[in-house]
């Protein structure tokens, strides 16, 4: 926790004033104050764990090397200020007053849980986003995670309702990162290598997923989500990265109708289109061909 420091000399000066008193009781008070000041390492700690920027407040903590945003005290879905919350453009600052040279480096666990806003801007000093940081949050604009971020925790966007998310390049997309989210579009950037278990599990509203060619591995359940075919305006099309070397195609997204699996959407891999929906009679053959193409790419 960041603290402002009151100097030992301030305490000492206050004690010196008391020393001007002639009676022994005042001298005793001076001696007591002096001793206490020394024993407390010459500091008095003042709590400043909440900082305000514009209309919103942030609860934070300081750690070695930077500041953690522990909670955005803003725009809660359950707040009385719901209409204002929906139109809020929230900006997380690079730093706070009194923190010269110390930057915001982390969005903590549950920091934006259940928050609702129009847009959110994160500084490019942030390197880590904690688990469930945006769980159950609602953001109507596109959320761009700065490229400075190298780690995003499990279920960071679970149960969220975010229109669009752009992820930075990471070694691996975190486990269950969008679990049961209503996100509509996700863009992964070049440099990402692995999509981990259940990353998009339950994302029934997802209509556009951009996977860069740098992705080599999609773990079990990585693309395990279903799309109600009666709710789509146009056919869902997924382009698998040309560098993909490991994936079980049983984990591909599924079209469903009245709760029943009716096949895979259109898949494109290395220039070839596997049109599962419109060639349903060849579904098994197409699946075998696609799996063989991925395995041969290893």
Mean predicted confidence (pLDDT) in 282-289: 92
Are 175 and 248 contained in the same domain?
yes
Name the token pair of 168.
């930075």
Looking at the structure, tell me whether residues 137 and 190 fall in a common domain.
no
Residues 11 and 63 in one domain: no
Q: What is the pLDDT of residues 44-69, one digit of tens each?
A: 232 346 766 555 788 888 887 799 99
b/e per residue, 63-83, with b = 16+ CB within 10 A?
eeebbbbbbbebbbeeeeeee
Are both 23 and 129 inside the same structural domain?
A: no
Nearest to 183 by CA among 155, 151, 199, 159: 159
pLDDT at residue number 40 = 35
More confident residue, 101 or 217: 217
Amino acid 103: pLDDT: 94
**Are 33 and 136 found together in one domain?**
no
What rounded mean pLDDT belongs to the chain? 81
CATH number at residue 213: 3.80.10
Whether 182 maps to a domain, the answer reads yes
Mark whether 294 and 214 lie in a shared domain: yes
Are residues 58 and 20 located together in one domain of the fold? no
For residue range 104-134, what is the model confidence (pLDDT) as tens digits?
Answer: 999 999 999 999 999 999 999 999 999 999 9
**Domain that includes residue 253, residue range:** 169-298
Domain assignment present for 44: no
Specify whether 20 is located in the same domain as 90. no
- Per the domain annotation, does 269 fall within a domain? yes
Tokens of 60: 């934070």
Residue 253 and residue 239: Cα distance in Å, rounded? 12
Neighbour-count burial of 7, counting CB atoms closer than 10 A to its CB (0-12 exposed, 13-18 middle, 19+ buried): exposed
Q: What is the CATH number for 120? A: 3.80.10.10
- Count CB-CB contacts under 10 A for residue 294: 19
- Does residue 12 sit within a domain? yes
What is the model's pTM? 0.78
Query: Does 164 fall in a domain?
Result: no
Q: Residue 9 is encoded by which pair of tokens?
A: 């000399």
Q: How confident is the model at residue 298 (pLDDT cuts 50, 70, 90)?
A: confident
The count of other CB atoms within 10 Å of the CB of residue 222 is 24
Q: What is the dihedral sign for C-alpha 62, 64, 67, 71? A: negative
Q: 3-state secondary structure string, 102-162?
A: CCEEEECCCCCCCEEECEEECCCCCCEECCCCCCCCEEEEEEECCCCCCEECCCCCCCCEE
For residue range 158-193, what is the model confidence (pLDDT) as tens digits?
999 999 999 999 999 988 999 999 999 999 999 999
What is the mean pLDDT of the segment spanning 67-75?
86
C-alpha of 11 from chain center: 44
- Mark whether 199 and 267 lie in a shared domain: yes
26 shares its domain with 65? no
Q: Supply the pLDDT for residue 283.
A: 87
Residue 194 binned pLDDT confidence (cut-offs 50, 70, 90): very high
What pLDDT score was predicted for residue 64?
Answer: 73
In this prediction, residue 81 carries a pLDDT of 59
Number of domains in the chain: 3
pLDDT score at 30: 35
Separation of alpha carbons 127 and 107, rounded Å: 9
Higher per-residue confidence, 242 vs 41? 242
175 with 92, same domain? Answer: no
Residues 197 and 288 both lie in one domain: yes
Q: Is residue 98 part of a domain?
A: yes
**Contact between residue 248 and residue 223 where contact means Cβ atoms under 8 Å apart:** no
CA–chain centroid gap for 271, Å, is 33
| 31 within some domain | yes
CB atoms within 10 A of CB 41: 7
């Amino acid at each position: 926790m960041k603290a402002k420091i009151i100097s030992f000399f301030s305490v000492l000066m206050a004690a010196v004033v008391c020393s001007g008193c002639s009676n022994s009781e005042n001298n005793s008070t001076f001696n007591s104050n002096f001793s206490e000041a020394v024993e407390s390492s010459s500091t008095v700690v003042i709590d400043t764990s909440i900082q305000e920027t514009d209309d919103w407040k942030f609860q934070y903590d300081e750690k070695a090397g930077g500041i953690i945003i522990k909670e955005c005290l803003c725009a809660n879905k359950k707040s009385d200020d719901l209409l204002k919350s929906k139109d809020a453009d929230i900006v997380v600052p690079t730093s706070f007053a009194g923190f010269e040279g110390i930057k915001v480096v982390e969005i903590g666990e549950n920091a934006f849980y259940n928050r609702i806003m129009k847009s959110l801007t994160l500084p490019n000093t942030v390197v880590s986003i904690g688990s469930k940081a945006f769980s159950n949050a609602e953001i109507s604009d596109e959320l761009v995670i700065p490229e400075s971020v190298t780690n995003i925790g499990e279920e960071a966007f679970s149960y969220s309702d975010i229109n669009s998310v752009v992820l930075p390049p990471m070694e691996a997309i975190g486990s269950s990162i969008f679990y049961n989210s209503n996100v509509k579009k996700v863009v992964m950037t070049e440099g990402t290598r692995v999509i981990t278990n259940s990353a998009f599990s339950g994302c029934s509203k997802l209509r556009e997923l951009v996977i860069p060619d740098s992705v080599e591995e999609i773990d079990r359940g990585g693309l395990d989500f279903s799309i109600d075919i009666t709710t789509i305006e146009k056919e869902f099309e997924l382009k698998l990265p040309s560098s993909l070397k490991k994936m079980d195609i049983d984990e591909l997204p599924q079209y469903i109708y009245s709760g029943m699996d009716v096949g895979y959407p259109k898949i494109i891999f290395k220039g070839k289109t596997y049109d599962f929906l419109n060639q349903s009679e060849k579904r098994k053959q197409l699946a075998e061909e696609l799996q063989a193409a991925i395995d041969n790419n290893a």
